[in-house]
């Protein structure tokens, strides 16, 4: 039986947080066992804001090494760098002709980025969702694992696929969002009403995957809690609820079990326990990432083979698209 296809990617801009780890990377471990997975370093998306080219190259490799250190197996999935497969950009251009400006202006991420980067509102910033649609549709993707706040991007990819199929005939599979549940939204340690971000201005907001033990413990010690002293998950206690969610995600326990464990204990003891749990979990991942980065031949080989596999799959779809829209491809 043919496996369903899963596509997911993370930008190599900024250092991934434990929110990225819990919400994306760790979920991929089970997906790679049951699906035909394409996992990418989305470096084309990373240049819509001003960036340091050397840093982008370095972080691309660091992200690939992190994937593998977390348990992503290049033998079980296609792990590659987006820019090494030119069909992403080529399909994006074709899909632009079926996408309306009003659709792009309404995208939440465009409005947020335009507000945060008012001096650099470029076309790439607006066109970001079309490139994302191309990423997804290029591999005839069935499922796209996303957080609750990212379903809008899958919806626009679905709309574009349906529009193309209606105009040119059946070409793309129409993907579905695979919305993560537990740990889908890990929030800032300083403002638990906001999502934890790798691009936040306050470094104490987030736990980064490269943070050492002392830094992790210090950040959790400073984490915002709530009035009262009960350690329970509730809408009235967003700070405590966020810390409980992080603890449960790393310990593999239920919210009820965590609440029982910390019943009668103070916030100080609670935050220390969460910090130690996270630090213990990240330590072996960090050591393995460093080992992989030191073996340039191995990492380069993994990415080269991944790009070759992705290229073959992408070329098949793009050739079909070009034929449907009437592009001459030779005899």
Predicted confidence at residue 215, as pLDDT, reads: 97
pLDDT above 90 (res 14): no
3-state DSSP of the chain: CCCCEEEEEECCCCCCEHHHHHHHHHHHHHHHHHCEEEEEECCCHHHCCCCCHHHHHHHHHHHHHHHHHCCCCCCCCEEEEHHHCCHHHHHHHHHHCCCCHHHHHCCHHHHHHHHHCCCCCCHHHHHHHHHHHHHHHCCCCCEEEECHHHHHHHHHHHHHHHHHHHHHCCCCCCCEEEECCCCCCCECCCCCCCECCCCCCCHHHCCECCCCHHHHHHHHHCCCCCCCCCCCCCCCCHHHHHHHHHHHHHHCCCHHHHHHHCCCCCHHHHHHHHHHHHHHHHHHHHHHHHHHHHCHHHHHHHHHHHHHHHHHHHHHHHHHHHHHHCCCCCC
> How many angstroms separate the CA atoms of 250 and 255, rounded?
12
Predicted confidence at residue 140, as pLDDT, reads: 98
Of 252, 251, 247, whose CA–CA distance to 271 is shortest?
247
Of 4, 323, 331, whose CA–CA distance to 168 is shortest?
323
pLDDT above 60 (res 139): yes
The mean per-residue pLDDT over the stretch 80-106 comes to: 91
pLDDT above 70 (res 13): yes
- State the chain's mean pLDDT as an integer: 91
pLDDT above 80 (res 331): no
Predicted confidence at residue 118, as pLDDT, reads: 66
pLDDT above 90 (res 214): yes
pLDDT (tens digit, 9 = 90+) per residue, 148-188? Answer: 777 888 999 999 999 999 999 999 999 999 986 654 578 99
The mean per-residue pLDDT over the stretch 60-74 comes to: 96
pLDDT above 70 (res 330): yes
Predicted confidence at residue 102, as pLDDT, reads: 75
Distance of CA 273 to the CA centre of its chain: 27
Please report, for residues 134, 167, 249, the alpha-carbon distance to residue 170 in angstroms, rounded to integers and kept in the order given: 16, 9, 41
**Domains recognised in the chain with CATH numbers:** 5-179+296-325 (3.40.50.620), 203-290 (1.10.240.10)
pLDDT above 60 (res 196): yes
Predicted confidence at residue 18, as pLDDT, reads: 94
pLDDT (tens digit, 9 = 90+) per residue, 226-240? Answer: 888 899 999 899 999
Confidence bin at 130 (pLDDT 50/70/90): very high
Residue found by looking up tokens 């929030």 in the block: 187
pLDDT above 60 (res 53): yes
The mean per-residue pLDDT over the stretch 81-97 comes to: 97
Neighbouring residues of 121: CB distance < 8 A, sequence distance ≥ 6: 114
| Count, residues in the chain | 331
Residue found by looking up tokens 């080992």 in the block: 291
Confidence bin at 114 (pLDDT 50/70/90): low
Asked which of 47-56, 266-275, 289-298 is least confident by mean pLDDT, the reply is: 47-56
The mean per-residue pLDDT over the stretch 27-51 comes to: 92
Asked which of 149-163, 214-228, 275-289 is least confident by mean pLDDT, the reply is: 149-163
The mean per-residue pLDDT over the stretch 27-39 comes to: 92
More confident residue, 214 or 123: 214
Q: Which residues are catalytic?
A: 113, 195, 198
The mean per-residue pLDDT over the stretch 252-263 comes to: 94
Kindly compute the dihedral angle of the four CA atoms of residues 141, 12, 294, 309, in this order, to the nearest 10 degrees.
20
> How many angstroms separate the CA atoms of 229 and 14, rounded?
35
Predicted confidence at residue 200, as pLDDT, reads: 74
Please report, for residues 108, 161, 219, 223, the alpha-carbon distance to residue 206 in angstroms, rounded to integers and kept in the order given: 22, 36, 8, 10
Predicted confidence at residue 4, as pLDDT, reads: 97
Predicted confidence at residue 171, as pLDDT, reads: 98
Confidence bin at 329 (pLDDT 50/70/90): confident
């Amino acid at each position: 039986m043919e496996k369903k296809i899963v596509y997911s990617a993370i930008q190599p801009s900024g250092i991934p947080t434990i929110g990225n780890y819990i919400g994306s990377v760790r979920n991929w471990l089970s997906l790679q066992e049951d699906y035909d997975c394409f996992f990418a370093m989305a470096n084309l998306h990373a240049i819509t804001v001003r960036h340091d080219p050397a840093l982008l190259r370095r972080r691309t490799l660091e992200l690939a090494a992190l994937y593998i250190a977390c348990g992503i197996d290049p033998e079980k999935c296609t792990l590659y760098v987006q820019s090494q497969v030119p069909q992403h950009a080529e399909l994006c251009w074709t899909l632009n002709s079926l996408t309306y400006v009003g659709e792009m202006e309404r995208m939440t991420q465009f409005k947020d980025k335009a507000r945060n980067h008012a001096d650099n509102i470029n076309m790439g910033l607006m066109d970001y969702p079309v490139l994302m649609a191309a990423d997804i549709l290029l591999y005839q993707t069935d499922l796209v694992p996303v957080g609750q706040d990212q379903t809008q991007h899958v919806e626009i990819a679905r709309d574009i696929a349906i529009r193309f199929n209606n105009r040119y005939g059946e070409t793309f599979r129409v993907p579905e969002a695979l919305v993560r549940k537990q740990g889908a939204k890990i929030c800032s340690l300083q403002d638990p009403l906001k999502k934890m971000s790798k691009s936040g201005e306050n470094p104490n907001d987030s736990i980064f995957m490269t943070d050492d033990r002392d830094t992790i413990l210090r950040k959790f010690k400073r984490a915002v809690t709530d009035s009262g002293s009960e350690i329970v998950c509730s809408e009235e206690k967003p700070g405590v609820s966020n810390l409980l969610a992080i603890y449960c995600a790393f310990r593999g326990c239920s919210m009820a079990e965590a609440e029982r464990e910390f019943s009668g204990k103070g916030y100080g003891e609670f935050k220390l326990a969460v910090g130690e749990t996270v630090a213990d979990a990240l330590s072996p991942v960090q050591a393995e990432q460093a080992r992989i980065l030191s073996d340039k031949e191995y990492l380069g080989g993994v990415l080269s083979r991944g790009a070759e596999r992705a290229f073959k799959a992408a070329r098949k779809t793009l050739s079909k698209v070009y034929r449907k829209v009437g592009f001459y491809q030779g005899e």
